[in-house]
Structure 1
Amino acid sequence: MNAMFTHPVRVYWEDTDAGGVVYHAQYLAFLERARTEWLRDLGYDQELLRREYDLVFAVRAMSIDFRRPARLDDALRVSVALTACRGASLVLVQSIERDGERLLDAEVRCAVLRASDFRPRPMPDAMHARLKALETRAPSSSTE
């Protein structure tokens, strides 16, 4: 399986301001959607994790570099790559591109929590091993 996952996102009217530019907070939703689809692609549906493993992932910290604006009707590619997998946390790098042009870079730190009480917990061994195998070096971000 490829270490870099990408998810397509189309910019709709509801994502933009009156000028057709994507609201800065909407990028968080695009990033979240891609992380959710990345997990689903690995066989870890969020509801399954909650129901079967009493596990949820929660964003603990995020660093974002907004490079260029996305606009109404843009077709975007949102990427996800895992750079660190520990027992009870993940570090992911994400980017958003339009036609090969980098619009945004993000580093996302997620905690593994028990769904029942939101306390930290280690992920199941098999899941940890599978995610650990996907760990990659952070892709270099080009400065434009």
Structure 2
Amino acid sequence: MSAGPLPVRVYYEDTDAGGVVYYANYLKYLERGRTEFLRQLGFEQRALAQEAGIAFAVRSFAAEYLKPARLDDELVVATAVEALGRAQVTFAQTIQRGEETLFTARVRVACLDLHRGRATALPAPIRERLRQTQPS
């Protein structure tokens, strides 16, 4: 089981004075990619917060900016589970334009108990669905 990639178009508001995507906007694309990845697995962030009392927060992040994206580019954000821990998930994410990889990142997120304000174990159904997306 896997979740599909997220298409993203670059708009004028995404670019800097040089006409390329401003570096911080790649992080927004990654966030959308992770959100849609979870949604495709059957988990919506708002429902997780309201019903399960949990949310995900970025704990660490490493990225490589390889090539610039530009106005009107059609990009694809791909998201995969790289590592799965008791209370955290590491995602491998890429942003591509056609066959070109423009950006790669490893993003580690922690599962937070919103009532206690600290890390908590991933609920079993989420852990199992995430585990199913990992290559055998």
Classify the TM-score, shorter chain. over 0.9
Quick one: distance in 1 between partners of 2:6 and 2:71? 18
Over the aligned positions, Cα root-mean-square deviation in angstroms equals: 1.3
Aligned residue number for residue 74 of structure 1: 73
**Shift of residue 19, structure 1, vs aligned partner:** 2.6
Matched residue pairs, number? 136
- Asked if 1:47 is matched to 2:46, the reply is yes
Instruction: State the distance in 1 between where 2:116 and 2:32 align.
Output: 24
Aligned partners of 1:136, 1:20: CA distance in 2, in Å?
A: 38
Q: What is the rounded CA distance, in whole Å, between the counterparts of 2:53 and 2:65 in structure 1?
A: 35
**Separation in 2 of the partners of 1:91 and 1:5?**
17
Runs of 4+ with deviation above 6 angstroms: none
> Could you tell me how far 1:5 is from its partner in structure 2?
3.2
1:133 match: secondary structure: helix
Moved more, 122-131 or 21-30: 122-131
> Which stretch shifts more, 104-113 or 16-25?
16-25
Shift of 1:84: 1.1
The answer on 1:100 being equivalent to 2:102 is no
Structure 1 CA distance for aligned equivalents of residues 96 and 86 of structure 2: 31
- Look up the match of 1:25: 24
Match in the other structure for 1:85: 84
3-state SS in 2 of match to 1:38: helix
Give the whole-Å Cα distance in 2 for the aligned partners of 1:117 and 1:18: 43
Equivalent residue for 1:117?
A: 116
Segments of structure 2 that go 5 or more residues without pairing to the other structure are: none
- 1:86: Cα distance to partner? 1.5
Instruction: Assess if the C-alpha contact under 8 Å between 1:93 and 1:105 holds in 2.
Output: yes
Instruction: Tell me if structure 2 keeps the 8 A contact 1:8–1:78.
Output: yes
- TM-score normalized by the length of structure 1: 0.89
Q: Distance in 2 between matches of 1:136 and 1:115?
A: 31
Gaps in structure 1 of 5+ consecutive residues: 138-144
Q: Which amino acid aligns with 1:56?
A: A
- TM-score, reference length from structure 2: 0.94
Aligned to 1:133: 132
The answer on whether the counterparts of 1:89 and 1:112 sit within 8 Å (CA) in structure 2 is: yes
2:135 is paired with a residue whose SS is coil
Equivalents in 2 of 1:102, 1:67: separation in Å? 7
Deviation at 1:133, TM superposition (A): 1.8
